[in-house]
Amino acid sequence: MNDKPDSDNSKYVEEAKKRIKEQLSLDDFIRKLVSMESETKKAENTLFKALFDTYFLYFPEAADLIRDKEAFISALSKGVKRDEISSYLGISADSMGYNLSDSDLSAITDSFNQLVGLSGLRTMIELKIGSILEENYINLFKVAGPDIAAKLISLSGSLKNLSEMPSGKLQVLGAEKSIFGGKKARTPKYGVIFFHPEIQAASDKLKGRIARVVASKTSLAAKVDFFSKEDKSGLILKKMRKEVDKIKNGT
């Protein structure tokens, strides 16, 4: 019996595996992590809203004090019963809310534990993304920040694509995702870099000009990371801050 066909098939399979492995990259891993972080955040926010709405049928008096997700998690970590929350918040346990049974409160506790788990998972993914960027793309990590840097790599497809992209295109990268309240601007000035600290700290009339500076320096950081791997972030940041200061000072 001839074993050659099986041998040939095995060779083709190994060659296919080799080619697939060669095509995979660190940027693919970053893109997957960004997607995982995004989906985890969506699930976390969905569960938080549902749990918040349910819990405050039970204790509406506490609603205004812990509407923020972090404040909500901090408060319910002390317990879900009114006397436990009221003690933590320093308010009366008397409530006009709907009384829940022990089994109902147990279900809320279980849901709360799931929320804490999702929050922890999201944080873990964010830290992993940050550590990967800091180790491999130090300039982009420091100039854009880990969250923006990771999203730019994910949206562009790779660091190579990002490094070859004009800064004007980088500036609006992500605007097509309708990140601002679900409404797509007719002529967007910025995409994900909108959340850069320099842009967030600027007045509305200066945001556009400062966004161009941030995009330019972020583009430079991507080029340095791709072509030389040297840490030039200190120099890039110094130039960026100098240009931003000139805009703010009107000089």
* Helix (DSSP H) and strand (DSSP E) numbers for the chain: 12, 0
Report whether pLDDT(86) > 50.
yes
Which of 120-124, 151-155, 226-230 comes out lowest in average pLDDT?
226-230
Count the neighbouring beta carbons within 10 Å of the beta carbon of residue 33. Answer: 17
For residue 182, what are its two tokens? 């679900």
pTM of structure = 0.82
Q: What residues have CB less than 8 Å from 29, skipping those under 6 apart?
A: 132
Report whether pLDDT(23) > 90.
no
Chain position carrying tokens 């040939």: 8
What is the helix (H) or strand (E) element at residue 96, kind and residue range?
none
Domains and CATH numbers, the chain: 25-136 (1.10.287.4070), 137-251 (1.10.246.90)
**Higher-confidence position of 10 and 43:** 43
